[in-house]
Amino acid sequence: GDSAAGSGGNGGSDGTITMGFAQVGAESGWRTANTDSIKQSAEDAGVELQFSDAQQKQENQISAIRTYIQQKVDVIAFSPVVETGWDAVLQEAKAAGIPVILTDRAVDVQDDSLYVTFLGSDFVEEGQKAGQWLVDNAAEADADGDGDVNVVELQGTTGAAPAIDRKEGFEEVIADDDTISISQSQTGDFTRDGGKQVMEAFLQNEPEGIDVVYAHNDDMGLGAIEAIEAAGLTPGEDIKIITVDAVKDGMQALADGKINFIVECNPLLGPQLMELAEKVVAGEEVESRVVTEETTFTQEQAAEALPDRQY
């Protein structure tokens, strides 16, 4: 092959690019939409896709990437389940001359030349938007009117970029308002079941006085709704709920009044990923960071957006 990276891949020789994609898992509605987008855009772009699902385990992703290196794919793309622990395998890819594109989640590595570019959201900004809504609606969020806005937090997968950054952005903004504080914070692993179980425990620890749930994704928020209803409380009223993603089920719950605010995180990264891959394999320069554009939704906005929502 004559790919820019000088690998044994065939990108450029017969025009077909082979991409190895190591996906996080199938933990959420966001992830399903992301996987569909990647598969569909690979097909549309004529990219031959090798796809693996790591079931939220880093060791599975590492071995998938090693397989792609052995297969001499033209480009490796992956969404790292956690931020750290990638140096060795990325050095192996580099030594094999295979370019790496990060999608969705970032890595924390010493050497930034271990990947070509990172395509995905700004998760700190998402956390800030969630925090800003709460600061702006603090009086209303204090459902029991005791003057304290008591927040419980459902964190994403421990060590994952969106969990770390969404927590950081949110905390930074609510720090400006000393009526708001987080009383309990735990991981629900970005799953509906995880969100439900952790919320049950939160409610047991504090049967009264929880004003707000901040969930790092819709699925955990939807799980929390089940726990809140099972405890005889009304989600969206007795306890306000803020989530991130804006997948269909989340938007429906928002329009139904069970969630109060959603920060959008766009999973449709496939088309941009294929475009970047084609450029990278052709040896063209690409930006080292490509940030996706996103908005936020109130209950009224969700009701309006729902009919046209694709995922």
What are the tokens at 156? Answer: 């994403």
Query: Between residues 148 and 249, which has the closer beta carbon with respect to ligand GYE?
Result: 249
Task: Write the burial class of residue 200 (CB in 10 Å: 0-12 exposed, 13-18 middle, 19+ buried).
Answer: middle
**Binding of ligand GYE at residue 117 (CB under 6 A)?**
no
Print the binding letters for residues 203-222 with ligand GYE: x by CB under 6 A, - otherwise. Answer: --------------x-x---
| Interaction between residue 115 and ligand GYE (CB under 6 A) | no
**Least CB distance from residue 57 to ligand GYE, whole Å?**
14
Task: Compare residues 69 and 269 and give the one whose CB is closer to ligand GYE.
Answer: 269
**110-130 b/e (C-beta count within 10 Å ≥ 16 → b):** eeeebbbbbbbbbbbebbbbb
Q: Which two tokens stand for residue 278?
A: 């084609």
- Residue 47 CA to residue 53 CA, distance in Å, equals 18
Question: Is residue 195 part of the contact set for ligand GYE (CB under 6 A)?
Answer: no
Helix (H, G, I), strand (E, B) or coil at 227: helix
Distance, in Å, from the CA atom of 34 to the CA atom of 292, rounded to the nearest integer, reads 13
Binding mask 14-43 for ligand GYE (x = CB under 6 A): -------------xx-xx------------
**Smallest separation (angstroms) from ligand GYE to the CB of 204:** 25
- End-to-end C-alpha distance for the chain, whole angstroms: 38
| CB of 297 vs ligand GYE, minimal distance in Å | 15
- The residue within the footprint of ligand GYE, chosen from 241, 265, 269, 302 (CB under 6 A), is 265
Neighbouring CB atoms inside 10 A of 81's CB total 24
Residues 58-97 that bind ligand GYE (CB under 6 A): none
How many residues at the interface with ligand GYE, by CB under 6 A? 13
Note whether 190 binds ligand GYE by CB under 6 A: yes
List the one residue from 73, 105, 213, 224 that touches ligand GYE (CB under 6 A). 105
245 contributes a contact to ligand GYE by CB under 6 A: yes
167 binds ligand GYE (CB under 6 A): no
- Scan for tokens 């998402």, then name that residue: 126
Residue 205 DSSP SS3: helix
Question: From residue 146 to residue 165, what is the string marking binding to ligand GYE with x (rule CB under 6 A)?
Answer: ----------------x---
Cα angle: 43, vertex 49, 50; to 5 degrees: 155
Residue 104 interacting with ligand GYE (CB under 6 A)? yes
Establish if 199 lies at the interface with ligand GYE (CB under 6 A). Answer: no
| Interface contacts to ligand GYE, rule CB under 6 A | 27-28, 30-31, 104-105, 162, 190, 217, 219, 244-245, 265
